[in-house]
Structure 1
Amino acid sequence: MNKTEEHEIQSQIMIDVSKHHCHIFRTNTGTVEMKRGGYFHAGPPPGFPDLTGFKDSNGKIFFIEVKKTTGRAREDQKQFHYMLTNHNIIHGIARSPEDALKIIDEELVGYGFK
């Protein structure tokens, strides 16, 4: 499975979760070379999950890291996971829309991280 297929999983998760009484947003990141030299890194801190949202029912926030079947969390993603776990925030790794809905519905903390 390539990056395009991972993006397709992410898109399907967004569609399914938004139909499930939740608001969900994709995190944009990027690096831009500056005219005067150097680079500007846009977006959240390293390790920030791919998708962020909240449940309409109770306002609880959740974070979803999207991975293909064989994908693994990077070290910076693991560090972000530890921080979220310490604050008991709903989050996890989703490899399918079903995983994402499980994380959200069951309010799981750290699903899919080892």
Structure 2
Amino acid sequence: MKRGGYFRAGPPSGFPDLTGFKDNNGKIFFIEVKKRTGRARDDQKQFHYMLTNHNIIHGIARSPEDALKIIDEELVGYGFK
């Protein structure tokens, strides 16, 4: 069978920078890392909406403290407006 064309492997567009899970309860989390003034792209916002609809821990971290807050407090959508 002949195939041709462009092939793209890896995570989808808008996928957050960091992914992990909490050992104590197995919940998965996603962290988007941004500078202090960085903004989420449209594809990142779409991914945020999907994660929010499924009540999945995720957010924008502008510091290590933000990342820990999102994870420890199991926040959904932290930093998105």
Q: Tell me the TM-score normalized by structure 2.
A: 0.91
Task: Give 4+ residue runs of structure 1 displaced > 6 Å after superposition.
Answer: 34-37
Query: What secondary structure does 1:84 align onto?
Result: helix
Alpha-carbon deviations, 1:35-92, whole Å to 9, x = none? 9996443311110000000001111000000001110000000000000000000000
Range moving further from structure 2, 42-51 or 99-108: 42-51
What is the deviation of 1:110? 0.1
Partner of 2:33: 66
User: Using the alignment, how far apart are the partners of 1:113 and 1:94 within structure 2?
Assistant: 10
Count of residue pairs the alignment pairs up: 81
Could you tell me which runs of 5 or more consecutive residues in structure 2 were left unpaired when the two chains were aligned: none
Q: Tell me the TM-score normalized by structure 1.
A: 0.65
> Structure 1 residues 38, 68: closer, same or farther in 2, change over 3 A?
farther
Query: What secondary structure does 1:40 align onto?
Result: coil
User: Using the alignment, how far apart are the partners of 2:2 and 2:73 within structure 1?
Assistant: 48
Partner of 2:66: 99
User: Using the alignment, how far apart are the partners of 2:2 and 2:79 within structure 1?
Assistant: 41
Structure with the bigger percentage of strand = 1
User: Using the alignment, how far apart are the partners of 2:49 and 2:36 within structure 1?
Assistant: 22
Could you tell me which runs of 5 or more consecutive residues in structure 1 were left unpaired when the two chains were aligned: 1-33
Structure with the bigger percentage of helix = 1
